[in-house]
Amino acid sequence: MERITPFIVMDILAKARTIPDAVHMEVGEPDLSPSPKVQEAFIKAVKDRQFAYTPACGLPELREKIARHYLDAYGVSISPKRIIITPGTSGAFLIVLSLFSKLKKKLVLSDPSYPCYKNFSYFLNIDPHFITIGKDTNFEIPPESIENIKDMGGIMISSPANPTGSVYSAETLKRLINICDERKHWFISDEIYHGLVYDTKEHTALEFSDNAIVINSFSKYFCMPGIRVGWMILPEELLRPAEILIQNLLICTSTPAQFACLEAFDYPYLTSVRKVFSVRRDFLCAELADMFEIVAKPQGAFYVWADISRYSKDAFAFCSELLDNQGVAITPGIDFGSRWTDHVRFAYTQDIPVLREGVSRIRQFLAR
């Protein structure tokens, strides 16, 4: 447990919140509100006094709605009983990786990746095996790289990815999943940024195998990070072990919030959300291009991953100074892997005028 690192972006956020006119380009959560239908359903649930526990695996109606979403969005038919509601993806990681830890095998992760992946692994005594990704690997874990890893038990990827915004091609995804299926490795697909994909079309791992484990939530595309509702889709044999863990470790997911999520699949509204982020991405990438090396033009999520080595080899100091001098908060690369000391992540979870102000202040900072 000593290896668990602070989630640096959360500490930066806490500090940035104390600065009155700070520009928040560190925050990994949408600034947009969820669909008005969600708000109505939430209020109705509170008025109806929906304050009791739900079953451990979630509201049956919500599990059915999510199953319907997989049919509508991906053309994949999933039994609702394989869909389990969790307190955000955090709850799903806790349960899935706890079950994975029983294998006593290595978990393959990309470097960089979402910091909680490695920290959940350390917490649960899972040995992570990192594969460095970059332009040379098209920001994907190359399928051939997982063919000969000793004591490998599984792999966890995210697509679109945090912090790079990169999206796996269908071909790579399928090849990785096929290798895992052949070798009985777990393929864990974090699809939390699905829906926020701009130039291409994302694929759920379930299109390629029923053995894949999918984790997702209402936090990003659906614009409700704070309500803490997510889900996981498991193969049959993990359903009962997962339920027992949930009964003991979580009890259930917040009930009125689950009722609110019944109205989350408001596709016209969600299309407008995607459009907003797409425009911001184009704006921010264009503005940053002459200042930083944008390592990957992001195809999804709401982040820009940039190399700042022309200015500094110490991104943590760079970010601290930028925050202190200009009140602009961005995230140093080391949050996503210890080697990324000269990279930073910008989030476009603010409106264009705010992003414009942030960019302007960054320009002044660099011109010191």
Binding site for its own copies (CB under 8 A): 1-2, 4-7, 10, 13-14, 17, 29, 31, 33-34, 39, 42-43, 46-47, 49-56, 87-88, 90, 94, 98, 101-102, 115-116, 119-120, 123, 223-228, 243-245, 247-257, 260
CB of 350 to its own copies, least distance (A): 12
Task: Measure the CA–CA gap between 102 and 124, rounded to whole angstroms.
Answer: 9
CB of 285 to its own copies, least distance (A): 25
CB of 18 to its own copies, least distance (A): 11
Per DSSP, the three-state class of 85 is: strand
Give CA separation, 216 vs 10, 261, 353, in Å: 21, 13, 30
Residue 215 parent element (H or E): strand 213-217
**Closer to its own copies at the Cβ: 200 or 247?**
247
CB of 36 to its own copies, least distance (A): 10
**Closer to its own copies at the Cβ: 46 or 289?**
46
Task: Measure the CA–CA gap between 320 and 241, rounded to whole angstroms.
Answer: 44
Per DSSP, the three-state class of 6 is: coil
Nearest by Cα to 99 from 114, 112, 86: 86
**Closer to its own copies at the Cβ: 164 or 219?**
219
CB of 117 to its own copies, least distance (A): 10
Q: Are 60 and 294 in contact (CB under 8 A)?
A: no
For residue 41, give both structure tokens.
């359903």
> Among positive and negative, which fits the CA dihedral 234, 237, 243, 248?
negative
**Closer to its own copies at the Cβ: 98 or 137?**
98
Query: Tokens 């200015």 identify what position?
Result: 311
| Region at 67 (left for phi over 0; alpha for psi -120 to 50; beta for the rest) | alpha
Task: Measure the CA–CA gap between 134 and 154, rounded to whole angstroms.
Answer: 21
Per DSSP, the three-state class of 177 is: helix
**Closer to its own copies at the Cβ: 292 or 302?**
302
**Closer to its own copies at the Cβ: 102 or 339?**
102
CB of 367 to its own copies, least distance (A): 33
Per DSSP, the three-state class of 14 is: helix
CB of 244 to its own copies, least distance (A): 5
**Closer to its own copies at the Cβ: 75 or 226?**
226
Q: What are phi and psi of 200, to 5 degrees?
A: -140, -175
Nearest by Cα to 220 from 270, 166, 156: 270
**Closer to its own copies at the Cβ: 15 or 297?**
15
CB of 6 to its own copies, least distance (A): 5
